[in-house]
Structure 1
């Protein structure tokens, strides 16, 4: 989305809906201006946004509020708490004129004061902490900042579901506290759950990586953390389940080109096969809606196979609303309808055309002004009926009612300033940063360093004193910054030399002082990498190298060093650091991503051994020549032999890598063991005599299994069968540590176009020195072993499937034989 930030807030300002009580453009003209001014003072004063004093008016349907604005609340059915939300929402919408309705269909709504409805700003962000991007949440006065967690790519590297949920819970606590203080919204357009298909994508830092199952798992847990209220999960009708705050799955769908060699997201047409849609691009969103019960989905700027996503009836209404049963609303990425008209020029649309088509497709809310400008005209032109507007408004107001915007949420009323930037939240931010650090190299167990032996430390490089760079984009104002040199200062006497003017490192004039500093130290830590000048929204990368003279800086320090050199990379996307990986004098390499406000402390704690790293790479690190082998605009996941394209992501890539997906080392050593004597697990599935079976296309027909049924469409199966896989994770090293246990499935050999392997399970476990932890995975046969064929059928093939637990040398293999019988 387009990012706009507000850096100032009047500490006396009331929440958006309260301020709007006196500023709404729809207020009756009969009210004298002098009274408006007096009312403004009364409302602002009664809000009492001073220090930690709570608001008197925290919701719309407060009798005192209605009295103050000259209305009798008992006359307004939408404020009757005894009625269902849908009845109340319909009553509210029915009271509006068409001209008033369309004013409520942009992210900045005007409200309708004559019926007691205040304005509301829908746009708030919480990608990795409450942000001031958008207008719904702001900083200043009683709320100078909020906890800034590591970027999502870092959180993904922890492979820790419970941690993902805890991050969401903590962010929503702070969001509710900010709302109580008049500085926070309730609807947050997060998380970003697009799969990273290409390593050049500039928004990689916002995402959980390249595996659809991992991305979807992150989405489910983060959204649950944001939205869920304890004790309300068994609500009879999920459409009315109370929400703590509202989350949004974005950007739907097949969106991962921002700006690359003249191609931008506003005009890009993503040409995607149904196979790739079902297998890669759609699953995270389906999981987010169906398992996470997200209350919103955001459609993306691009077209998919010729149709703008925000105007695609099949993608929005048919899929999200009907097939996945969304309990919430669909919103556009900001100014998407304007993009349809000006950039896509789809069907030579006017604004009325584009607005009508988007509304009919299922788009409830326009982040922007196009709906407000064009919907009334579309009604008068006969392109849509007013009832379609009513449906969308009803969807929107039901979500606000679930949030307590109208009735309040007493269970969160006590949250206030002490719940923002609390000690617990700051410690969680540090824990996420440490769990997400990935150890890529540790020659001869150089790490961890001993503080008694390595007392003088040179900390050099463009990120050695990083602060804002650590929190990346969609960031608010953090509670504080702990830079790398600050973090290391608690362990050693630190000498700092930047080595580069900035990340772009356009000249080598600062290299020699950094080399000198390294020569006087017991060890040197080089903190290098990328930042938002290289990879960001609206900015894709053109290569996979370190910018400018960074490689020269690292190499010269290593060549002249007589003491250990440790390289720390801050980046989201992979970087070709083969030169450092193979350099004998660079003893250790760590990836720290964009580690958030506590990043410097986390990096230092890992390098000096206070914390044993256990993170894994959530995406493949490719060699630099990858970008010369295929254009970013090709969305095919499988190799294309006729063009020489390698495959994309670990599932299909057929070349060599710098580091593979899920790679990561530890300061200790783990071994996997199983007590299972038989390595073949039979799964017998009974089918009816008239069951329709599908052919499976094998590269060699002779290896096709002899069976009465090569495969069955998943929709035709009960999918009740499961396979239990158990492994013991033994810590045979000399330190306690966390281990990420990955589980992959592999389809029967020889199926044309099938993935090499795919993640079907993972678990992060803590194992004490010399201890063993048993881990059990229950794999649903359809979810774990189905494939999508070339024409878009999701089928479960018969034959021998592989199950691999672990990576590299510590892999335990099983086989699952699926057999159909009458």
Structure 2
């Protein structure tokens, strides 16, 4: 067909007009009208609210309380256009004004109290403060499961009170349940330590405290079980490198074996989902074995959603999809391709803007399916319905400012700090000090006047601060000297004044350690020493002191204070973590014996040369003899630590007696059930039937272990009964031992308490083999209570 130049020019102009019109139409479709807030109404489907909006609420089935949540959620999602759906899949959901759906900000934090981190939480004249509990690593050191749950209950009550004051949301992206694999990690303060079982137990208890609505804990339909607030377990998975010698979390690829993945990195998350019934899981920035976690179909859809049956939604760490595109540059994906890929993998919400900005176009380009958006939105809205966002929660409507920072809440914060504090050294029974004596105390060091350092990160604005020197001043006459200008301790000019204070004091209390300038999110350590001139401060002040020295360490990770352990003038060493707003009071109560310390270390404290033996980026937990790398955590490190996992002294002495009604169990193998081959060390002798796969067994067999705890000292006190199991001798790659149970028990002086543990054979005594199978080895296992001095053999055999 012949065309003139004029006709051709008209066609070109028409084409560009069409393109511009199409772009404008798309832009208008994806740009929402101004969002409408919930305003003065406490829930969305309040008839008065729709009347004010000029809408008939009866036309919206998603507001019909008589319908099931899934039906209502589907109706709500079906009421939206594709562009509207995409906009709701970011953490700042603008709502859909034309149908009366208000905006909702998903991001709030409640790691150890309601935090001011996140878009939904606002501290103001109405709610200016909240109770700030110790950071998680210290609370975990209490090993008190009921305390963990109780803290969650108080935090969620204060969150609901803030919600009623329009100062907070209902969805909280806490707790952080990553296992502490390396002592240099900057986020140890946020986590429950190095043992996967302890971490998972903490997660389940804290999440239950946050989420459970009284009377509905055992609901049969978990997809409609009411929620007080919605928790989130993060960061999934194998996330524990933030920024170390040029390697950061936005580019790091964690190379992890299936054995370590199942045994260590996934177990706490599985417990959080299955036992805690958490409403959300957050995927992390890093890659695992080459694949970004937020795009891993196996980790998300198949595992969290499929194997574990999550009743809730999966969210990205903030801007993770952008990190995937610009940081990892994974597969060269465009924003549309990355958004479609993560959606297919099972990521329901983007904490960021990629979903709102690019999913609409991804569907138009055929890279994503609208039905996948629908599925994710259904998960999100069902969670909000369970929270009462649409229908209200009358049982919490009376909560207000009077329920925040109550005396009871602040006392619980103090109790959590007291229970977590760990006594590391106490030569000559130097502690406790006698509260009846009038001591002149020299209180010295960069943390003696600590405030912000005590509450750590992801904290709100505390009700108050009880600083260390003020806590001690309630018991004694205090002379304060700074010692260092801050924890970096770069100026030695402050030391002379501290020495002078110690010269004239009956007792010197030195407060040293770390803070968020040394260990924090996006900041890993490179060594295990005290920063700057702190060691010099300690040594000079100790040399100058007239009386005994008490060293108090505020930190999350361990520090090598072997020099202080060996110094005869430093009679006592206390680890106080980051003890929260009541920290000064709690430390003083321990020093003066109002409280007998019972905390235990939830991480191993290594000597400084440990970190010189392996890079932080080496992920395997088992030792690598070829490279000369030592094992990680108490489960695989065979050397001598400074202080081992579970270590902690008391002002009294406890003895154990361990018994069991049964010392052997035979597992019945089914007709089609096969023995599983378990690899033994070269010198080991493998039984004819080495073990069985847990997945092939009913695993109903239980072992009962009774532990008599006798307080043979002259002071009442708490004791943490820690129970470990050790696999049959010779099993290759087996942990040295692993925690299978723990209980904190109060025992009066001269009395005995019996703690009974019941262990499921497969859950408590199984191992993960090299191929990722969970197996129960046959042969003689050992149950260890406390240290190695108290143990009990348990033998597993088989019948067929």
TM-score range (shorter-chain normalised) is over 0.9
Q: Tell me by how many angstroms 1:791 deviates.
A: 1.3
- Cα shift readout 1:283-336 (whole Å, capped 9, x = no counterpart): 000000000000000000000000000000000000000100000000000000
Contact 2:446 2:484 in 1 (8 A): yes
Aligned to 1:51: none
User: Is 1:346 the counterpart of 2:327 in the alignment?
Assistant: no
1:695 — aligned with what? 677
Shift in CA distance, 461/411, structure 1 to aligned 2, threshold 3 Å: same
- Secondary structure at the aligned position of 2:703 is classed as strand
Distance 1:155 1:107 in 2: 30
Of residues 784, 788, 791, the one that matches 1:804 is: 784
Within the candidate set 742, 745, 752, 2:722 is matched to 742
Q: Deviations over 1:235-284 (max 9, x none)?
A: 23101100000000000000000000000000000000000001000000
Matched, 1:214 2:198: yes
Distance, in Å, in 2 between the alignment partners of 1:441 and 1:528 is 16
Q: How far apart are the structure 2 equivalents of 1:608 and 1:702? A: 52
Matched, 1:755 2:735: yes
Choose the corresponding residue for 1:789, options 743, 755, 769.
Answer: 769
Contact 1:334 1:368 in 2 (8 A): yes
Deviation at residue 689 of structure 1 after TM alignment: 4.0
- The answer to whether 1:74 aligns with 2:58 is yes
Q: 2:407 aligns with which of 423, 433, 448?
A: 423
State the TM-score, normalizing by the size of structure 2.
0.95
Alignment match of 2:109 (pick from 118, 125, 133):
125
What secondary structure is seen at the aligned counterpart in 1 of 2:757?
A: strand
Q: CA deviation at 1:234?
A: 2.9
In 2, Cα distance between the equivalents of 1:617 and 1:452?
A: 31
Spell out, residue by residue over 1:538-569, the C-alpha distance to the aligned partner (whole angstroms, 9 max, x if none). 00000000001000111111122220100000
Per-residue CA distance 1:651-690 (angstroms, 9 max, x = gap): 00121111000000000110112456x8x71111111344
Q: Is the 8 A contact 1:454 1:523 kept in 2?
A: no
How many Å separate the matches in 2 of 1:140 and 1:517?
A: 41
**Corresponding residue for residue 144 of structure 1:** 128
1:197 aligns with 2:174: no
Q: 1:394 aligns with which of 371, 375, 378?
A: 378
- Determine if the alignment matches structure 1 residue 322 to structure 2 residue 306: yes
Q: Report the Cα distance in structure 2 between the residues aligned to 1:150 and 1:326, rounded to whole angstroms.
A: 29
Q: Deviations over 1:157-201 (max 9, x none)?
A: 000000000000000000000000110110000000000000000
Matched, 1:575 2:559: yes
Match in the other structure for 1:726 = 706
Separation in 1, partners of 2:231, 2:670: 43
Q: How does 1:605-684 map to 2 (within 5 A)?
A: 605-674=589-658, 681-684=663-666
- Given that residues 255 and 302 in structure 1 are in contact (C-alpha distance below 8 angstroms), is that contact kept between their aligned partners in structure 2? yes
Cα distance in 2 for partners of 1:408, 1:69 equals 19
Deviation at 1:812, TM superposition (A): 2.1
Within-5 A mapping of 1:346-495: 346-495=330-479
Partner SS, residue 92 of structure 2: coil
Q: Unaligned 5+ residue runs, structure 2?
A: 1-29
What is aligned with 1:12? none
- Checking the alignment, whether the CA contact within 8 Å between 1:505 and 1:548 is kept in structure 2 is yes
Q: Is the 8 A contact 1:26 1:114 kept in 2?
A: no
2:139 corresponds in structure 1 to 155
Change (3 A) 1:347 1:675: closer
Between the aligned partners of 1:582 and 1:138, the Cα distance in structure 2 is 48
Q: Which residue of 2 aligns with 1:547?
A: 531
Query: Distance between the aligned counterparts of 2:389 and 2:672, measured in 1?
Result: 54
- 1: distance between equivalents of 2:143 and 2:659? 26
Structural mapping, 1:246-261, within 5 Å? 246-261=230-245
Note the aligned Cα RMSD (angstroms).
1.4
Aligned to 1:769: 749
Q: Report the Cα offset of residue 529 of structure 1.
A: 0.1
Alpha carbons 2:766, 2:776 under 8 Å: kept: yes
Shift of 1:454: 4.7
In structure 2, relative to structure 1, the CA distance for the partners of 1:805 and 1:262 (3 Å cut) is: same
Q: 1:575 to 1:692 in 2, by over 3 A?
A: same
CA gap 1:26/1:801 in 2 versus in 1, 3 angstroms = same
| SS across alignment from 2:542 | helix
Q: Which residue of structure 1 aligns with residue 798 of structure 2?
A: 820
Measure, in 2, the Cα distance between the counterparts of 1:338 and 1:713: 41
TM-superposed CA distance for 1:702, in Å, is: 5.3
What SS class does the counterpart of residue 797 from structure 2 fall into?
strand
Give the CA deviation at 1:152: 0.2
CA contact (8 A) 2:684 2:730 kept: no
Distance (whole Å) between structure 2 residues aligned to residue 675 and residue 758 of structure 1? 19
Q: What is residue 82 of structure 2 aligned with on the other side? A: 98
CA contact (8 A) 1:672 1:727 kept: yes
The equivalent residue for 1:239 is 223
- 1:585-600 equivalences in 2 (<5 Å): 585-600=569-584
Distance 2:419 2:248 in 1: 35
The whole-number CA distance in structure 2 between the counterparts of 1:337 and 1:758 is: 36
Structure 1 position 521 matched with structure 2 position 511: no
SS of match in other structure, 1:320: helix
State the distance in 2 between where 1:272 and 1:674 align. Answer: 38
Alignment CA distance shift 1:291-1:452 (3 Å): same
Match of 1:704?
Answer: 686
From 273, 279, 282, give the equivalent of 2:257. 273
Name the residue aligned to 2:7. none
Question: Aligned to 2:551, what secondary structure does the other structure show?
Answer: strand
- Structure 1: distance between partners of 2:217 and 2:655: 39
**CA distance in structure 1 between the partners assigned to 2:671 and 2:99 by the alignment:** 63
> Does 628-637 or 787-796 show the bigger shift?
787-796
Distance 1:413 1:355 in 2: 39
Q: 2:93 aligns with which of 109, 131, 155?
A: 109
The answer for the alignment partner of 2:488 in structure 1 is 504
Alpha-carbon distance in 1 for matches of 2:696, 2:220: 28
For residues 799 and 672 of structure 2, the distance between their equivalents in structure 1, rounded to whole angstroms, comes to 12
Cα offsets for 1:697-749 (capped at 9, x unmatched): 111355223x3x21111100001001000011011111110000000000000
Question: Using the alignment, how far apart are the partners of 1:59 and 1:654 within structure 2?
Answer: 57
Structure 2 partner of 1:20: none
Q: Who is 2:693 aligned against?
A: 713
Contact 1:803 1:813 survives alignment (8 Å)? yes
Query: The residue matched to 1:340 in structure 2 has which SS?
Result: helix
